[in-house]
Amino acid sequence: MDQFSLLKLNDEQILAANYPGSVFLTACPGSGKTRTLTYKIAVELQKISSHREFLVAITYTHRAADEIMERVENLGLETKQLWVGTIHSFCLEWILKPYSIYVPRLQSGFNLINQPDADAILDDICKDLNGPKITSLDCGYFFQNDKPVPISSDKEKHESIKLVLKKYFRTLRKTRKIDFELILYFAAKLLREHPPIASALSALFRLVLIDEYQDTKEIQYQIVCSIFKAGLGKTKAFIVGDPNQAIFKTLGGYPIEVQHFRELSGLAITELSLVQNYRSSSKIIDYYAHFSLSNVNVVAASEDKDYPSLITYNTTISAKFVEDEIVRLVRYSMNDLNIQQSQICIIGPQWQSLAQLTRRLMARLPQCDFDGPGMVPFGRELDNFWYKLSKICLSEPAPDMYIRRLRWSSEVLSALNIEGFKCSHSKSELLKLLNKIKIHEKKGMAYLTSYFEEFLCAMKIDIDHFPGLKNHYLSFFEHANRKIERAKKDGNELLENIESFKRVFRPRTGITISTIHGVKGAEFDNIIAYSLLQGVVPHYKDPEQLQSANKLLYVIMSRARKNIFLISEAGKRNPPTFILKNYNHQYSLPF
């Protein structure tokens, strides 16, 4: 297999992928970062000579993990000794599950609480709280120096949030549950207090790859760097990211400096960079270069680098007509610019308002498909067994979905095993069995209920004998029904037909609607971004207004291949985002 010709790497990508030591790689937008990671994995997999040697790739999102794994599998490589996933999944599988016996809090067993159940506990605690009104939405946190730090930008709420978190942690302890941040806390604690664990892991890992290093938390660096340090250079690092896109700082993200990484890891790591952009036109690259906080010179290398991009900025349209303008821009993109709907992305500031916008646009543009929030009443409960199963039952057994669905089948088998049900099926046998289940319900939740019943019958599982499966089942439907009732109370009808449900797990075919944070890592021909207002982008309580504004705008603009349509609507209390308004750019004329 000629890997170079298959993946079409350039010289700087080949240099990074073939570099024999550890690499700290700064990659500009559209530079083929994922392609480089894929080739690096392909090269290293073929060097493995022992069944006790593994490659680990840690990604920021499950979506990125799926993409990397699929690319490697499509090269025809054996992936038994490749592990790809988020840092939380890594800590669960490689640290907490094998070594939890060394933590008194976890010795008697533990379960991972899903976000809806955690929110319900937090909201219940908040009801009895004196002081400023807070809800579960205010209670996000991360650990720093072994102490929980509230994420809320409202500092006046921090003391109240800390009181809520104390009661929340006590509740989790009583019920033997942990949440995602506690996964990191206990993993770091184990590695710090029991050094032989880090040594054992370093002996297993030939290479650890970390994607999006600029969004990695300090506690996550502590976890992986304790493994590097224990390996005395045997475990290599391949670290990739772009500090210009470090927009998760308020959530604990930390774009580490290379020298600090050297000190933490004990590795002699080499700095390299990818500066050729294969995504955007020269005009778009020149535009978003204004918001860059580094001196990296991004080079246009796309086939469309000479595309006559439209970059418009509308500051006069009234807020009440923004939706009309978005509809007009979507139609203009498809009808006049010949842009496919799957290559259009609408970016807004908050998930809550985007859910309503998605439903309204679906009504106004019935000829279009959409990929946005609010389309189904269940969330991405990634560790809920029934969510894992729903990915298979709501996707079609098409050839282009086979590898992905086979991996989902493997996840279902693994989850069944964790819950104590020993299944004799292979992942392909299970997938074949699931493909035979035919449900004719037209409403989404009724469809899922019937499918799950058929699954239990086919597998001969009595759910009452498996408390974990039953608890996941009750949580899945309780959260969905609560979301349906809340939507009805607000005067919104969720789309309950089965076709809307099935769109969620299809390859992207419709218009994407997302926040700035949610769209990170994606790319589209056309970007439509609205509510670019001071106090919104960035949030008015962000402590680093200027830096955050530059990074958020940099992320928005660098998603686009061909055209950008920006809107800072008038008629609101907030003026346009200052650095955008004050950028003296020659925008395309209105059309």
Do residues 164 and 257 both lie within one domain?
A: no
Give yes or no: residues 411 and 475 share one domain: yes
Question: Quick check: is 280 in a domain?
Answer: no
Give domain status of residue 131, yes or no. Answer: yes
- What's the whole-number average pLDDT of the chain? 90
Give the model confidence (pLDDT) of 360-381 as tens digits.
898 899 889 888 876 677 766 6
- Residue 591 pLDDT exceeds 70: no
- 67 — pLDDT class (breaks 50, 70, 90): confident
Using pLDDT thresholds of 50, 70 and 90, give the confidence band for residue 539: confident
Alpha-carbon distance of 217 to 248, in angstroms, equals 9
Could you read off the pLDDT of 275-298 as tens digits, one per residue?
999 999 999 999 999 999 987 789
Beta carbons within 10 angstroms of residue 324's beta carbon: 12
Structure tokens at 451: 């499918």
| Domain end point (choices 472, 502, 532) | 502
Domain co-membership, 471 together with 391: yes
Specify whether 363 is located in the same domain as 468: no
Our separate counts of H helices and E strands in the chain read 24, 18
Q: Do residues 419 and 342 share a domain?
A: no
Query: What predicted TM-score, i.e. pTM, was given to this entire model?
Result: 0.86
CB-based contact 173:186 (threshold 8 Å): no
19 in a domain, yes or no? yes
- Specify the amino acid at residue 76: G
Q: What is the CATH number of the domain that holds 333?
A: 3.40.50.300
In a domain, residue 538? The reply is: yes
Residues 89 and 190 in one domain: yes
Residue 404's pLDDT is: 83
The residues pairing with 271 across neighbouring beta strands, listed in sequence order, are 24
Indicate whether 91 and 192 sit together in one domain.
Answer: yes
Residue 289 lies in a domain: no
Confidence (pLDDT) at 170: 96
CA angle at 274 for the pair 272 and 278, rounded to the nearest 5°: 170
- The residue segments making up the domain with residue 436 are 385-502
Instruction: For residues 170 and 200, state if they share a domain.
Output: no
Q: What is the pLDDT of residue 537?
A: 93
Kindly state the average pLDDT of the residues 444-454. Answer: 94
Q: Is residue 488 part of a domain?
A: yes
Instruction: Yes or no: say if 434 and 409 are a contact pair by the CB < 8 Å rule.
Output: yes
Whether residue 1 has pLDDT greater than 60? no
469 and 419 in a common domain: yes
Using pLDDT thresholds of 50, 70 and 90, give the confidence band for residue 487. low
- What integer is the mean pLDDT of 48-59? 92
Tens-digit pLDDT profile for residues 335-347: 999 999 999 999 9
The pLDDT value recorded for residue 4 is 44
Of the two residues 114 and 207, the one the predictor is more confident about is: 207
With respect to residue 160, please indicate whether it lies within any of the assigned structural domains: yes
Q: Picking from 114-118, 176-180, 247-251, 416-420, which range would have the lowest pLDDT averaged per residue?
A: 247-251
pLDDT at site 375? 67
148 three-state secondary structure: strand
pLDDT grade for 550, boundaries at 50, 70 and 90: very high
- Cα separation values, 477 from 115, 122, 172, 394, Å: 14, 19, 22, 16
More confident residue, 255 or 485: 255
What are the residues facing 277 on neighbouring strands? 300
Q: What is the pLDDT of residue 495?
A: 62
Considering the domain architecture, whether residues 420 and 486 belong to the same structural domain is answered as yes
> Could you tell me what percent of the chain has a pLDDT over 70?
95
> What pLDDT is recorded for position 184?
96
Task: Inform me whether the pLDDT recorded for 316 exceeds 70.
Answer: yes
Give the pLDDT confidence score for residue 557 in this predicted structure: 97
* Domain identity same for 221 and 237: yes
Number of domains in the chain: 4
Q: Check residues 460 and 572 and name the one with the higher pLDDT.
A: 460
Asked if pLDDT for residue 467 goes beyond 90, the answer is: no
| 252, pLDDT greater than 90 | no
Residue 571's pLDDT band (boundaries 50, 70, 90)? confident
Instruction: Write out pLDDT tens, residues 78-122.
Output: 888 999 999 999 999 999 999 999 999 999 889 888 887 898 899
- Segment 207-221 shows an average pLDDT of 93
Q: What angle do CA 99, 380, 100 make, to 5 degrees?
A: 10
Whether 102 is in a domain gets the answer no
- Mean pLDDT to the nearest integer, 221-247: 94
Q: Report the Cα 393 to chain-centroid distance in Å.
A: 22
Tokens of 324: 């009309």
Do 224 and 339 belong to one domain? no
Q: Residue 7 — very low, low, confident or very high, per pLDDT cuts 50/70/90? A: low
CA distance 113 to 90: 17
Q: How far, rounded to the nearest angstrom, does the alpha carbon of residue 233 sit from its chain's CA centroid?
A: 30
Res. 476: pLDDT tops 80? yes
Q: Which residue has the higher pLDDT, 560 or 296?
A: 560
Q: Which of 199, 198, 206, 264 is nearest to 237 (CA)?
A: 206
What the block records as the tokens of 101 is: 């016996």
